[in-house]
Amino acid sequence: MKPNKSLSRLFLVSFSLFLLLPLAAVVVIFLLNSYSSQEDSVSNRLNVIASSLTDRISSKLENPYKFLETVAEMTQEYGHEEPQMNSMLISGIKSFQIFEAIYILDSKGRILLFDSAYYKSYNKNDFIGIPLPEIATGTIADTKWSRAAISPLSNNMVVRAVVPFDGGYIVGDIGTDFISEMLAESVPDTNTVISITAPDGKIIASSIRSVTGSLANHPLLRHTGSFDPMMLKYKYMNEDRVGTIKTLKTPGWFLLYEQTAASAFVYFTQILTMNILSVVVLLAFSVFILFFIRAKLIVPMRLLTERSEMISQGMFIQFKDSEKGVFKELRTLYDSFEKMMITIDRREKELRDKEEYLRSVFDSTTTTGILIISMDDEPIIMDANVGTQIIFGYKLSELLGLPTAALIKELGNELSEMCKESRRTDVMVTKQLEMVKKNGLNFPVLCSVYPLFGSNGHIQGFICVCIDITEITRVQSELESEKERLDVTLRSIGEGVVAADKFGRITLVNSSAENILGQKYRFILGHNINEVLQVYDYETGKSLTERITDLSPKSNRTFRANMVTKDAGVITVFITSSAMTNNRGEIIGSVYVFRDITDRMKMEQELISRKKMLEDINKSLEKRVQEETEKRRKNEQMLFEQAKFAAMGQMISAIAHQWRQPLNALALYVQDIEDAHDSGEVDRNYLVSFASNAMRLIDHMSSTIDDFRNFFHSANSTEKVDVPSVILESLSLVTTQMRSQMINYKVQIKSGDKEQIYENRIPEDYTPINDITLNIFSSELKQVLLNIFQNAKDAIIDHRKSTGEKVGNLIITVTYKSDRLKIDIENDGGNIPEDTLSRIFDPYFTTKPEGEGTGIGLYMSKIIIEDHMDGLLVAQNTKTGALFSITLTYNN
C-alpha cells in the first residue's frame, strides 16, 4: 500500500503545481490587468466627456465674443452715437440668447450705450453715465472674462466678457445658466460632479446648481500647468475620488470632472466579487474532481498494479465486469471534455457577435431611432435603442418581436422591401417613409437600412436608422408656400419684373415679363441680363443696356426706351433699374421693372396729329376748348400713370431694404443648424425654437409683400381716414432705407394742448389723438407722402457729399386747427436754388441727373392735393433745408 500512497501524494502535488497554482496565478494576473484596464477605461471616459464638454462650452462662448469684437471695431470706426450701433446691440441680444446685456463704455468704465433682454423693466436713460465697478476700478479691464457675479438687471449669475478698444470697452453680460444646464445634462449619476471655475478657483457654474463659492484648495486645481492630466486619484472632503481637469481656451477657465472612486471602479468591484465566487466554486469542483479521479483513476491504477504484481508472480485474476467499465468511463470523460471544448468555442463566437452588435447599437446617437431587424421574409424587431422608444412612443418590451409592418402607415411593408434590397446589394438603402407612432399619429421619417454582418461575413440581420423629419418637412413646406405666394404676387403685377444676381445672371422672371419679352422663364433663367434686355434710348436710339445694368448701390434709374422683343419686335417701355444691396452696402443683385407703353406712345402721336387737324379746322372755340380739356385730362392721366410707375420702382427698392435684415437673420439660423448638429444640440426644443424664429421672419417678409400689394390699392370711392395713421404707414415703407442712410426722422402730432411724438420708430400701439377724419383716397395721399420722403432722402444724401455730414434729419409735423389740417415735412438737405424753387411743380422738370428722375412726381403730387383733395401744396426754403406744407380742409 505504500506505493499507492506515494502515487496519490505525487498526483496531489502535481495537481497543485500544474493546475491549481497556475490557475491562482492566472486569476491574480487577470485581476491586476482588469484593474489596470479599468483605470484606463475610467481615465479615457473622464477625458472624452470633459474634452467634449470643454469644446462645446468654448464653442458656445466663442461666437458671442467674436460678436463683441465686431461691435468694438464698429464703435471705434463710427462712434457709439450712430443709430446702427443701437440696432447692432439689439440684434446681438436677439441673435445670441445667452447675452443678458451688452454695454458700450468710455475709457473710465461709464455706460455710453447698452441694451438688455431685461431692460423693459427699467428706463435705459437711467443707466447712461453710470460706471461698471469692475471696469472703472480696473479689476478686469485688462482681461477678457470676469468672475461669476449677480447681474444688476436680472439677478441671475453672469460672467462679463470685455473687449477693449481705443477710447473705451465693449462689455457683454453672459448668463451662466446655459453652462450649468449643459453640465447637469452630462452628469451620469449623483456620484459625479462637474464644475467650471475661474483661474482663482471661483465657481462659475456647476452641475449642482446650489454649489457656489470657491474651489481654490481643490486638488485638481494644483495641476493647471502646461498640460491637462488624464486622470488623478485623490482624497477630498474625506472621500476617495478620481477626476480630470481641462482648460477652456476661449475664456481661460478650468473644467473639473470628478467621481467618487467607488462609483468609478464599480465594474472592477463586480469582477472581483465574481472571481472570488468562481474560485470558491473551482475549489469545490477540484475536491470533487480529486475524489472522482481517486475513485475512477487511482483505484483502477492500484488494481492494475496489484494485477501486474500478481501476473509477475504467475497468478492471474480476471477483471470483474465492474472493473472493466473503468476504461470506458475514462474514454467517456475524454469525449465529454472534447465536446465541452467545442461548446466553449461556439459560445465564444456567439459572445463576439453579440459584442459587435451591442457596439453598433450603442455607438449610434441616442437622438436617432435605431432598430435591429431580423432576416425573415416578414421581419420583426429584435432590439431598439432609447431614441426609437422616444420617437415611436413604444416601450422596449413592446417593440421586441413587433413586425416592422406595424410601424408603416400604408398597407404593405416598405421596410421589408428595403431590407430585401439591402440584402441583395450589400449596401445601405435610404428612403423617406410615412411611419406611425403608438398613438396612431403619422409622421415623416428618413429611414436608412444597413446590412448587419457577422464574424463569418454573412448577413445576420439589418440595422435600421430612423430620423424624425416632421419639423424639417413642415418648414420646407411653409417656405415653398411662401415662395408660391411671392410668385402669385409677382404674376399679378402688370409690369414686367426681372431680377439678376451680382454677376448679371437672371434669377427671377414674372409672367408679365415673359409676355412682354416673348420668351419663357425656363429659356431665360441663368442667361446674362445684357443678352435678354436689349434697350435703346427713345430719343437718340443709343444702347442703354450698359447704363441700366451698371448700377451703384444707391442708383434708381428710370428711362423711356425702345426694347427689342422676340415676338413683337421693337416696343416702347418705361423701365426702372434698381440695385439690391446688403446691410454693408454691397451689391447683391439688381431688379428691373418695365411696362409696355407702345400703345400709349401711339396714342400720343395720334393726339399730336389730331391737335394739328383741330388747329387747321378750328371751327368753334367751344369745341376747341373741350378738345384741349380732354387732351389735358388724358395727359394728366398719363402723367399720373407715369408717377405711379416711378413710385412702383421706389417701392421695389423699399422691399429690397425691408427684406435685407430678415434674409440675413434667416441665413444665420440656417447656418447654425450645422454647428448645433455637430454639438449635439439638435433636439425637439431646438427645432421648435428654429421653426418659431424662421416663421417670425417669414411672416415679417410676407407682411412686407402685403404692404407692397395694398399700397396703391384703393376703393372705388373716398373713405374716412385718420391722416396721422396714413403718414405712419407711408413712413414704415421707407424706415429701413432711412436707417441704412443714417437719416433720423421725427413725427409730431399736435391738437390743442395734446401732443404725440415718435422718433425713429413706428408705434405698434398707435392711438389717434382725436376723432377727426378726412374723406379722401388714402392711396393718393400715400403716393404724395412717399414722393416727398424719397425727394428729402435724395436731397440729404446729395447734401452730405458737399458738406461731409454723416447724419440727416426729417421732421414731420401734423397740426389740427379749427377748420383745417396742416402737414409740414422739413428736411436739412440744403436749400432748393431760388431759380428752380418756382418750377419744381412743373411737369417733366427735375434737378436730378438725366435718367435718375422723371420730373412728374411733384407735379402729380400738386394735382392730387389741390385738384383731388381741394387742398394746397407749397414748398419753401428754411435755414438748413426745404419745407413742404400740405393743407387740407375738414369738409373733404
Which has the closest alpha carbon to 148: 111, 114, 173?
173
The Cα 795–Cα 832 span in angstroms is: 9
Sheet with 587-596, side-by-side order of all strands? 506-509, 496-501, 587-596, 570-581, 556-564, 535-537
Q: Which pLDDT value is given to residue 1? A: 38
Rg (CA), the chain: 43
Q: Which pLDDT value is given to residue 324? A: 45
Give 23-56 pLDDT, tens digit per residue. Answer: 666 666 666 666 666 677 777 777 778 888 888 8
Nine cell digits for residue 14: 502535481
The Cα 305–Cα 309 span in angstroms is: 6
Which has the closest alpha carbon to 728: 749, 712, 706, 752?
749
- pLDDT(825) > 90: yes
Of the CA atoms within 13 Å of residue 473, those in its CB half-sphere come to: 11
Q: What DSSP element (H or E) covers 595?
A: strand 587-596
Nine cell digits for residue 508: 427671377
3-state secondary structure of 199: coil
CATH T-level topology, domain 714-889: Heat Shock Protein 90 (3.30.565)
* Type of residue found at 653: S
Give me the CATH code for the 79-175 domain, please.
Answer: 3.30.450.20
Q: From start to end of 405-458, where are the E strands?
A: 429-436, 442-453
Residue 766 near residue 701 (C-beta atoms within 8 A)? no
- The verdict on pTM exceeding 0.85 is no
Provide the β-strand partners of residue 505: 528
Find all residues with CB under 8 Å of 31, minimum gap 6, and list them: 271, 272, 275
Give 418-444 pLDDT, tens digit per residue. Answer: 888 888 888 888 888 888 888 888 888
The Cα 638–Cα 643 span in angstroms is: 9
3-state secondary structure of 272: helix
Provide the β-strand partners of residue 887: 822, 872
Give 576-629 pLDDT, tens digit per residue. Answer: 888 888 777 788 888 888 888 887 888 877 888 777 777 767 665 555 556 565
pLDDT above 90 as % of the chain: 5
Nine cell digits for residue 755: 401732443
Model confidence at 337, pLDDT cuts 50, 70, 90, reads: very low
How big is the chain, counted in residues?
892
Biggest CA–CA distance in the chain, Å, is 174
Give 339-357 pLDDT, tens digit per residue. Answer: 555 665 677 677 777 777 7
Model confidence at 333, pLDDT cuts 50, 70, 90, reads: very low
**What is the rounded average pLDDT of the residues 681-703?**
66
CA-angle at 264, arms to 260 and 266, nearest 5°: 115
* Type of residue found at 813: T
Q: Architecture of 364-470 per CATH? A: 2-Layer Sandwich (3.30)
Q: Reduce the secondary structure of 712-737 to three states and give it as a string.
A: CCCCCCCEEECHHHHHHHHHHHHHHH
Which has the closest alpha carbon to 217: 198, 236, 233?
236
Nine cell digits for residue 204: 462659475
* All CATH 3.30.450.20 domain ranges in the chain, comma separated: 79-175, 364-470, 495-595
Nine cell digits for residue 808: 440727416
Give me the CATH code for the 495-595 domain, please.
Answer: 3.30.450.20
Q: Which pLDDT value is given to residue 315? A: 53
Give 114-145 pLDDT, tens digit per residue. Answer: 888 776 556 677 778 888 777 766 665 556 77
Strand 743-751 and strand 808-816: pairing?
A: parallel
**What is the rounded average pLDDT of the residues 311-317?**
52
- pLDDT(879) > 80: yes
**Burial class of residue 185 in the structure, from the number of CB atoms within 10 Å of its CB (0-12 exposed, 13-18 middle, 19+ buried):** exposed
